[in-house]
């Protein structure tokens, strides 16, 4: 068997194409395979406009596709692609070879392999590993994701979660919509005002979903999102899920800490210095060292420790099995927070009182958690998925790059596998 014949078999070229030359270029360590069409090709090529049989018109310049390595050596396929001409309509077109991927520089197999690597590491790292530029890899990813996303089916979507994710710290945001039952990212777009809902509903309906099929929408207590839901999906019940409520409480604890550092008396700054991560954790997740530190801080009777305790109690309400118990405990919690805050000088617990007001104001949606609780777990995970997305898109923080990466990582799209 000649090397050409061997590569022909390995590439699975069939009867329409043949390897006419194979050589190893020692200087750049590249295996080059030259391919050309056989006469048999014209038996199967049809005019894309009217389906007529066509004949060969001419050939393109030599084109190159990166293929999977041969052993550890880079492998490239070159071919002067034939162009067909239709005798009926005169249409001239390039014949698409069976190995070509969605991008013009890579074969299908190479794209599948690069996608596999991209699941595991940042694009810039993949570029380094396979010896390609990251621009080319991104372009490939855009095409793959766009093609797979266009095929995505949203017809079964009924429970949706939405959350804002920051693209750059404190600046730009994207709103991410997720299918809570199938646990996948559905749609993401720039901004966090109510109009993102119009964009989402348009995308939903483009993929066979329907706005009035939405029965549950899980989200933060942002007035913008609430307005968006009211304007677009009349059948959806709004649920303010546990994760968002606790997030507000966490932020409030942090505000209390900062206010106390600013206004507190002697010794406060030393006690609270670099402690913000401590307060975000639950006691069961603290290391021994952190526990010791917390115990020491708590001896000082600080407002921050009080606020932390409030957060823990609030969290515990979510362990209530019945909605009636939860309702009662939320009310008691709000009264307790107000009562404690009134005893404090300088109104240091103001941030916690705001959380109490927010809870009273949104109690119905918060209590809906007890009806829909199970489905909401995905929203919490979405934040870490988004962080992973940012890591993978390292160095390319445009919204388009991030959204494409998000669909790739969390969209459960049908992408080629190798």
> Residue 50, interface with Zn ion (CB under 5 A)?
yes
> Residue 95, interface with Zn ion (CB under 5 A)?
no
Handedness of CA 288, 293, 294, 298 (dihedral sign): positive
> Residue 92, interface with Zn ion (CB under 5 A)?
no
The rounded Cα 413 to chain-centroid distance in angstroms is: 12
What's the first-to-final CA gap in the chain, in angstroms? Answer: 27
Least distance (Å) between residue 89 CB and Zn ion: 3
> Residue 91, interface with Zn ion (CB under 5 A)?
yes
Among 49, 62, 263, 418, binds Zn ion (CB under 5 A): 49
The rounded Cα 216 to chain-centroid distance in angstroms is: 21
Handedness of CA 42, 48, 52, 57 (dihedral sign): negative
Residue 5 or 46 having the CB closest to Zn ion: 46
Residue 31 or 86 having the CB closest to Zn ion: 86
Among 89, 263, 324, 332, binds Zn ion (CB under 5 A): 89
The rounded Cα 270 to chain-centroid distance in angstroms is: 40
Among 11, 33, 47, 305, binds Zn ion (CB under 5 A): 47
Backbone dihedral region for residue 352 (phi beyond 0: left; psi -120 to 50: alpha; all else: beta): alpha
Stretch near Zn ion under the rule CB under 5 A, chosen from 80-88, 168-176, 207-215, 258-266:
80-88
Stretch near Zn ion under the rule CB under 5 A, chosen from 85-93, 130-138, 237-245, 249-257:
85-93
Least distance (Å) between residue 36 CB and Zn ion: 24
Residue in 243, 222, 236, 242 with CA at minimum distance from that of residue 157 = 236
Residue 145 to residue 407: CA distance in whole angstroms: 7
Among 86, 137, 159, 334, binds Zn ion (CB under 5 A): 86
Least distance (Å) between residue 93 CB and Zn ion: 9
> Residue 88, interface with Zn ion (CB under 5 A)?
yes
Residue 125 to residue 122: CA distance in whole angstroms: 5
Residue 50 or 153 having the CB closest to Zn ion: 50
Q: CB–CB of 365/240 below 8 Å?
A: yes
Return the SS3 of 15: coil
Residue 89 or 323 having the CB closest to Zn ion: 89
Q: Note the residues at the interface with Zn ion (CB under 5 A).
A: 47, 49-50, 52, 86, 88-89, 91
């Amino acid at each position: 068997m000649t090397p050409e014949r061997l590569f022909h078999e390995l590439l699975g070229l069939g009867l329409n194409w043949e390897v006419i030359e194979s050589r190893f270029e020692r200087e750049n360590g590249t295996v080059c395979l030259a391919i050309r069409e056989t006469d048999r090709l014209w038996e199967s090529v049809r005019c894309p406009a009217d389906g007529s049989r066509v004949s060969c018109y001419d050939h393109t310049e030599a084109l190159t596709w990166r293929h999977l390595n041969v052993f550890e050596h880079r492998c490239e396929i070159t071919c002067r692609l034939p162009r067909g001409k239709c005798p009926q309509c005169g249409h001239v077109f390039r014949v698409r070879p069976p190995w070509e991927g969605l991008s013009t520089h890579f074969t299908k197999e190479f794209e599948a392999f690069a996608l596999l690597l991209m699941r595991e590491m940042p694009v810039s790292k993949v570029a380094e590993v396979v010896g390609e530029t990251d621009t080319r890899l991104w372009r490939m990813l855009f095409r793959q994701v766009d093609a797979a996303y266009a095929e995505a089916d949203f017809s079964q979507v009924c429970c949706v979660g939405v959350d804002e994710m920051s693209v750059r710290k404190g600046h730009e945001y994207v709103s991410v919509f997720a299918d809570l039952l199938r646990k996948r990212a559905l749609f993401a777009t720039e901004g966090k005002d109510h109009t993102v809902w119009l964009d989402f509903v348009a995308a939903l309906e483009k993929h066979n979903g329907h706005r009035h099929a939405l029965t549950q929408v899980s989200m933060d207590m942002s007035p913008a999102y609430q307005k968006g839901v009211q304007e677009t999906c009349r059948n959806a019940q709004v649920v303010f899920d546990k994760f968002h409520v606790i997030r507000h409480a966490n932020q409030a604890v942090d505000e209390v800490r900062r206010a106390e550092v600013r206004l507190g008396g002697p010794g406060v700054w030393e006690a609270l210095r670099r402690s913000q991560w401590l307060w975000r954790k639950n006691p069961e997740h603290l290391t021994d060292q952190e526990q010791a530190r917390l115990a020491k801080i708590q001896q000082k009777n600080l407002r921050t420790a009080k606020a932390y305790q409030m957060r823990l109690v609030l969290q515990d309400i979510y362990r209530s099995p019945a909605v009636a118990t939860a309702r009662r405990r939320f009310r008691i919690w709000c009264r307790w927070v107000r009562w404690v805050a009134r005893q404090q000088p300088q109104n240091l617990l103001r941030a916690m009182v705001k959380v109490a007001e927010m809870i009273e104001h949104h109690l119905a949606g918060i209590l809906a958690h007890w009806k829909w609780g199970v489905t909401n777990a995905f929203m919490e995970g979405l934040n870490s998925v988004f962080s992973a997305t940012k890591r993978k898109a390292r160095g390319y923080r445009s919204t388009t790059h991030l959204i494409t990466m998000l669909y790739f990582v969390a969209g459960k799209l049908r992408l080629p596998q190798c």
